[in-house]
C-alpha cells in the first residue's frame, strides 16, 4: 500500500482482517495475573472507536480511551506473599538460601552456568567491568541511546566511555560504526539491549574477537530476550540485569551478573562480599580478606519477591511479544509512523518499551511534543524517551575529578576534543526529534487495547492540521 492511498477505510479493513495477535479476555488482569490463551482467538471486528473519533481529545473531543492501563508492579497474594512472609518470619533477612535459590533459577532461565545477585543493575555492571580488569586509562565502547547507568558504570571504574552512534531503525548500537571507534586503548564493548530489543550480537561478537575486546552486555532491560533462542546476556564475557521496580521482573531494587566463566564469577562473588574468599578465590575462612572488594549483597526478601515474579515474567514476555507484533503491524500502516525493527535471528524481545519513530512531515509538520500531548489526551500514555547522554555536563565533571586527572593525559581530558570525537547525529535525531515510547505494562492489555492505541494515532494523523493550528496559537 502506498502511503498516499492510506485511508481510514483501509485502516479499518486492515485492522479487522489482520489477525496477528491474540485476543485476551477482559478479566485477564483483574487478579494481577496474566495467562496466555492456548490458541489465537478470532480477530476482533473493526473497532467502534473510529465512529466517535472525529474530534481529537486535545481539541475537546472524547478521548479514545478512558480505561486504566495495567498497574505496575503486579503481585498476587496467593502466589507471592507466602515466600516473602516466610523470610520475614524467619528473621534471616541478609543474604542466605533464598538468594542462592534465585541465582540458580536465574542462571537456568537465561542459560548461563553461573549467576550472582547484587544490589542493582548499575553495580552489576560496575562489578563485571572491574572483575574483567577494566579501569583507568581504558576505553569502553557504548551506545549513547541508553539509561545513564550504563555510562555511570564505565566512569565508576575510571575507564572512559566512547560513544558509538545508533542504528535508528533498531534503536541499538550500530555494529557498522564500532570499528571506527576502536583505538589502542579500547578494552571492551558494552552493547546495551536497549528498550528490551536485542542488539546485533551476531555482528558484534566477531568484531570483539577480531580486536581482542571484552564484551559486557547491559541486559538491564532485556530479560529473556533472545537471538536464535539464546538469551541475551550470555553472548559476551558477562551479562548484567536489573530488577528495579519499573523493570519487567521487579524486586524494588536488585541486579544480577551472569557468565559461564567460573573463575570470573568467583571473583565477582568475592568482590560483592568484601573480597572474602569464595570458590577459586581461595583462602582459609578466617585467614583474612584476599581481594579488594565492596558489599553488594541482595537481601533475602528481595530474592523472595524475585522468585515470585519469575513465572509471571515468562508468561508476560510472550504476551508482550504478541501484542507488540500486532501493534507494530497496525501503526506501521500510518504514514509518518515507523516502528522499531528487530535484527534477523531475534526469536524473542523483552519489550521493556515499545518504540517507534514519529516523522512529523507526514503529520503536517506537527512537532513531536504536540503529537505526544495529543496522544496522551486520548488516554494513551507516551513519552519521548532518552535525551542525548553524550552531551551532558557529568562528563566534564568526571574528567575534572582527581582520579581522572591522574589517570589520563591532559589532552585526553580535553572536553571539546572528546565531544567532537563523540558526536552521534543519529542518536541526536532519535532523542530530539523522532523517538516515541509506550511502556511495557501497556503491552499486557488485550488486542482491543492495541487497537485503541492505533486508533488514537490514526485520529491524530487525520487531525494533524487542526491540532497544529491550535498548538501554534
Residue 239: name the closest of 248, 247, 231, 250 by CA: 231
Q: Which residue is at the shortest CB distance from ligand PLP?
A: 121
In the complex, the smallest distance separating the C-beta of residue 37 from ligand PLP, rounded to whole angstroms, is: 30
Distance CA 269, CA 35 (A): 36
Name the one range near ligand PLP by CB under 6 A: 115-123, 181-189, 280-288, 402-410.
115-123
Give yes or no for a contact between 337 and 210, defined as CB atoms under 8 angstroms apart.
no
Considering only the stretches 142-150, 309-317, 367-375, 435-443, report the one whose residues sit in contact with ligand PLP under the rule CB under 6 A. 142-150
CB nearer to ligand PLP: give 436 or 460.
Answer: 436
166 binds ligand PLP (CB under 6 A): no
Query: 75 or 147: whose CB is closer to ligand PLP?
Result: 147
b/e map 22-57, b = 16+ CB within 10 Å: bbbeeebbeeebbeeeeeeeebbebbebbeebeebb
- For 230, other C-beta atoms within 10 Å of its C-beta total 15
- Check if the beta carbon of residue 453 is closer than 8 Å to that of residue 439: no
Query: Considering the complex, what minimum distance in angstroms separates the CB of residue 242 from ligand PLP?
Result: 3
Binding test (CB under 6 A) with ligand PLP, winner from 112, 140, 154, 192: 192
Q: How far is the CB of 227 from ligand PLP (least distance, A)?
A: 18
72 binds ligand PLP (CB under 6 A): no
353 binds ligand PLP (CB under 6 A): no
Strand ranges (E), 309-412: 337-339, 346-348, 353-358
Site string for ligand PLP, 229-268 (x = CB under 6 A): -------------x-x----------x-------------
Name which of 170 and 463 has its Cβ closer to ligand PLP: 170
Using an 8 Å Cβ cutoff, are 143 and 192 in contact?
A: yes
**Collapsing DSSP states into helix, strand and coil, what is residue 443?**
helix
149: contact with ligand PLP by CB under 6 A:
yes
CA distances from 465 to 5, 56, 150, 297, 434 (A): 18, 11, 40, 55, 19
Contacts of residue 335, defined as CB under 8 A and 6 or more positions apart, other chains included, come to: 3, 6, 362, 461
Question: Taking CB under 6 A as the rule, does residue 120 contact ligand PLP?
Answer: yes
Q: Is 122 in the site for ligand PLP (CB under 6 A)?
A: yes
Residues within the interface to ligand PLP (CB under 6 A): 120-122, 146-147, 149-150, 192, 194, 218, 220-221, 242, 244, 255
Amino acid at each position: 500500500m502506498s502511503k498516499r492511498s492510506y485511508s481510514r477505510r483501509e485502516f479499518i479493513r486492515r485492522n479487522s482482517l489482520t489477525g496477528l495477535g491474540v485476543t485476551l479476555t477482559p478479566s485477564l488482569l483483574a487478579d494481577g495475573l496474566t495467562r496466555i490463551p492456548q490458541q489465537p482467538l478470532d480477530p476482533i471486528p473493526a473497532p467502534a472507536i473510529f465512529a466517535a473519533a472525529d474530534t481529537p481529545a486535545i481539541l475537546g473531543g472524547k478521548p479514545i480511551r478512558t480505561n486504566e492501563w495495567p498497574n505496575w508492579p503486579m503481585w498476587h497474594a496467593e502466589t507471592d506473599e507466602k515466600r516473602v512472609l516466610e523470610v520475614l518470619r524467619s528473621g534471616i533477612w541478609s543474604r542466605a538460601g533464598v538468594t542462592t535459590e534465585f541465582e540458580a533459577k536465574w542462571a537456568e532461565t537465561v542459560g548461563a552456568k553461573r549467576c550472582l545477585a547484587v544490589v542493582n543493575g548499575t553495580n552489576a555492571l560496575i562489578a563485571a567491568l572491574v572483575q574483567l580488569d577494566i579501569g583507568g586509562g581504558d576505553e569502553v565502547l557504548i551506545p549513547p541511546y541508553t539509561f545513564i547507568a550504563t555510562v555511570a558504570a564505565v566512569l565508576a571504574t575510571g575507564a572512559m566511555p566512547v560513544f558509538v552512534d545508533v542504528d535508528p531503525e533498531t534503536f541499538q548500537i550500530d555494529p557498522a560504526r564500532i570499528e571506527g571507534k576502536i583505538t589502542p586503548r579500547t578494552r571492551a564493548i558494552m552493547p546495551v539491549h536497549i528498550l528490551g530489543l536485542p542488539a546485533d550480537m551476531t555482528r558484534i561478537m566477531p568484531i570483539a574477537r577480531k580486536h581482542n575486546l571484552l564484551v559486557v552486555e547491559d541486559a538491564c532491560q532485556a530479560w529473556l530476550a533472545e537471538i536464535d533462542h539464546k538469551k541475551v546476556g550470555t553472548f559476551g564475557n558477562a551479562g548484567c540485569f536489573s530488577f528495579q521496580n519499573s523493570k519487567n521482573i521487579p524486586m524494588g531494587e536488585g541486579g544480577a551478573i551472569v557468565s559461564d566463566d567460573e573463575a570470573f564469577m568467583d571473583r565477582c562473588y568475592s568482590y560483592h562480599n568484601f573480597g572474602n574468599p569464595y570458590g577459586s578465590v581461595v583462602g582459609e575462612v578466617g585467614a583474612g580478606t584476599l581481594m579488594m572488594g565492596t558489599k553488594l549483597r541482595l537481601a533475602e526478601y528481595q530474592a523472595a519477591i524475585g522468585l515470585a515474579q519469575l513465572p509471571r515474567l515468562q508468561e508476560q514476555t510472550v504476551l508482550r511479544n504478541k501484542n507488540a507484533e500486532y501493534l507494530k503491524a497496525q501503526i506501521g500502516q500510518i504514514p509518518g509512523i515507523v516502528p522499531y525493527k528487530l535484527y534477523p535471528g531475534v526469536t524473542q524481545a523483552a519489550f521493556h518499551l515499545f518504540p517507534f519513530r514519529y516523522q512529523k512531515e507526514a503529520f503536517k509538520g506537527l512537532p513531536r511534543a504536540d503529537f505526544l500531548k495529543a496522544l496522551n489526551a486520548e488516554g494513551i500514555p507516551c513519552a519521548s524517551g532518552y535525551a542525548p547522554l553524550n552531551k551532558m555536563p557529568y562528563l566534564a565533571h568526571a574528567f575534572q575529578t582527581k582520579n581522572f586527572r591522574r589517570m589520563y593525559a591532559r589532552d585526553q581530558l580535553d572536553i571539546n576534543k572528546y565531544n567532537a570525537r563523540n558526536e552521534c547525529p543519529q542518536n541526536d535525531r532519535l532523542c530530539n526529534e523522532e523517538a516515541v515510547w509506550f511502556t511495557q505494562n501497556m503491552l499486557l492489555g488485550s488486542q482491543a487495547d492495541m487497537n485503541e492505541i492505533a486508533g488514537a494515532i490514526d485520529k491524530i494523523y487525520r487531525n494533524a492540521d487542526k491540532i497544529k493550528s491550535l498548538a501554534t496559537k
